[in-house]
Amino acid sequence: MKIQIELTEKDLRRLVLEEIRRKTGVESLTETDVSIETKSKQNYKSEWEGGAGFRARVEKEIPL
């Protein structure tokens, strides 16, 4: 069986927020407090930039 799961930037932001709340106990944080960034490979300085269009994917063949 093959699984395929995709998480959008919004999904990732929510998951990160839940984990930060769990670890810190600070419930007043909101999704807008979380920024998703990516490190540019096309820039010789390798700077961090906003992760617009960021996603996470898993595709794996798993035994039944």
pTM, full prediction: 0.66
User: Is there a contact between 8 and 55 (Cβ–Cβ < 8 Å)?
Assistant: yes
Q: Which helix (H) or strand (E) holds 24?
A: helix 9-24
Question: Which among 34, 33, 38 has a CA at the least distance from the CA of 50?
Answer: 38
SS3 13: helix
The proportion of the chain whose per-residue pLDDT surpasses 70, expressed as a percent, equals 73
Could you report how far apart the first and last alpha carbons of the chain are, in Å? 6
DSSP-assigned beta bridge partners for residue 38: 49
pLDDT in the model for residue 53: 62
**pLDDT surpassing 80 at residue 45:** no
Most trustworthy range by pLDDT among 23-27, 39-43, 46-50? 23-27
pLDDT digits (tens, 9 = 90+) for 12-37: 888 999 999 999 998 998 888 887 77
